[in-house]
Each structure stands twice: as C-alpha cells, then as structure tokens.
Structure 1
Amino acid sequence: MAARQAELVATLVAGGPLPSGFAPAPVDAARRALLRKRGGDVARHWPLLAAGLGAAWAATFADWAAGRPTNGSLRDGWDLARELRDRGTLPALGAEELAAREAVTRYDGRRAPRPRRLPAVGRAGGAVAVQLAGRVRLLRPARR
C-alpha cells in the first residue's frame, strides 16, 4: 500500500508515471489543481515576479514546476526566477525582487537560504540592490 501511495504522490507532484489501476483524467485534474495551488503559494512569496509575468504567471510556473518536486514556496520561486534570468526572460519586477532577495539572503540552490552578512549586493537582470545597516535599497532598477 505504501509503495502505491508513493507512486501516486510521485505522479501528482513530481511528474512520475501513472500507476496502474488509476484513471488518467482524474489524476491529471488533481495534478493540475496541485500545480495551481503551488503556484499561488509561490506567488505569495514572490509577488513582484508573479506580477511581472502577469497573465503568463500560471502557465510559466506550471511549465517550470511540472516534473519537479517542491522545495518549498520560497525556494521554488527563487529557482524559477534564476532560471528565467538565465534564459533572459525574467521580467523587470522579478529582476528587482531577485536582486533584493540576493542582497539579503544567500541561497545556493541546494540548501535552505541563509542571511548574508552586512553589507551585501544583489544583481539580476540589470537591477542592483544593496543591503546596508539591515535595509535593502534598489540602486539601479532593471531594464524595462
């Protein structure tokens, strides 16, 4: 029973194959609903990234997240923002949010984010943010 549950969970959240004995349509509907819920959670942690993508947010996030297990909303948003930056498709608002986060927090993509020592600089998509005396300032906005 535990193995079947693990197979179903892998199908729903990590893009695993459909276990035998399950109807594809309801499992696919549940998978899409979970992706929407996960996207909403990430948008709450990364509001500027979501706003910058606008109507494309849901599709962009779902395409990126399909087949990837979650690392938590904060880290999922961070990983998505970095991937969009690397592809050159990070919107200006998302670049500014990413630069500010990277000025405050150190994140290597594997371990949980940790606070940076002061002062620190973050850069993304042309945006530059600096952390001094516990405050983050956007020195240069992203290219629009």
Structure 2
Amino acid sequence: MSKSTLAERQAALVAALVAGEPSPAGFDADRLAATGRALRHKRAGEVAAVWPGLAASFGDRWGEHFSRWARGRPPQGALRDGWDMARELASVIRLAAPARVELACREAGARYSGRAAPRRRVGPVVRVVPGGLVLGVAGHVWRLGR
C-alpha cells in the first residue's frame, strides 16, 4: 500500500469517527459508530471542563446534548467547540444565566470569528448579563454586579 493510499484511508477513518462521514470500506460500521460515540463523550468532558456554565445548564443531559451538536462537526479544541456551541444555542434559544455570563466573559476577553483561533481583545467591551455587566479591556475581564 502506498503512503498516499494509506493517508487517504486514515483520513477517511478519522472523518468517519469525528465528522460523521460514512464508514470506509473494510471497517465494521457498528464498531466505528460506537468509537465515534465514545470520542464525542470524551470531547463533551473536555468542553465541560472549559465551559462549566454551559455544561451545567444542561445538567445530567450535557453529554447527550453535546454529542448531538458535535455529530458531523470536526473537533476544533474544547475552547472553540464550546464557544461555537454556545453561540449557536444563543441564536436559537435563551441560554441559562450561567452560560450567558460565561459566553459574555469569553467574548469580552477575546475576538473569535468562528474560523480562526480566538485572539485577545484590545479595545473595551461591555456586555449586559443577568445580574450585572461584563467589562473587557485589553483582554482582561471583570464581572460587575452580583
């Protein structure tokens, strides 16, 4: 097997595991699906560690909700995965207060386009959150209020 063929097969395997692509020829689809679920569960734990307010807003169903959201989305790292999920959810539902505050704090401290890694903000930012304000200046973030 040539290096390019091996690389193509490896890429197809990874895409099936983390991005919801069809199982490549020669692999057991059920086992790949089980491995994909396990990887999404692990990823949910990593995101919960970085986004505890977002995860807590789903309670015991966090893993299930994250797994559903993550299916078909390649991992971008826990920070970006959580940020993408929080933004998407904020656009369609009202996030629980801890998740709204968490998202506002992240956005006050850094710029994130959704395509490239977050970068520290330079100018001032103010966000209204439940119970107060979030102020960001030069990448530093303060929560004012309760």
TM-score (norm 2): 0.86
Alignment-derived partner of residue 13 in structure 1: 18
SS where residue 108 of structure 1 aligns?
A: coil
The answer on whether the counterparts of 1:96 and 1:127 sit within 8 Å (CA) in structure 2 is no
1:73 Cα offset (Å): 0.8
Give the length in aligned residue pairs.
140
RMSD: 2.1
Q: Unaligned regions of 5+ residues in structure 1, if any?
A: none
- Aligned-pair identity in percent equals 50
Q: CA separation in 2, counterparts of 1:58 and 1:26?
A: 20
1:93-144 deviations in Å (ceiling 9; x for gaps): 10110011111111111111111124222356897411258341145x7xxx
Q: CA separation in 2, counterparts of 1:118 and 1:83?
A: 25
Q: CA separation in 2, counterparts of 1:125 and 1:84?
A: 17
SS where residue 15 of structure 1 aligns?
A: coil
Q: CA separation in 1, counterparts of 2:44 and 2:116?
A: 21
Q: Unaligned regions of 5+ residues in structure 2, if any?
A: 1-5
Higher Rg: 2
Q: CA separation in 1, counterparts of 2:116 and 2:129?
A: 20
* 1:59-138 correspondence to structure 2 within 5 Å: 59-123=64-128, 128-132=133-137, 134-138=140-144
The answer on whether the counterparts of 1:99 and 1:127 sit within 8 Å (CA) in structure 2 is no
1:12 Cα offset (Å): 0.1
Runs of 4+ in 1 over 3 A off after TM superposition: 122-128, 132-135
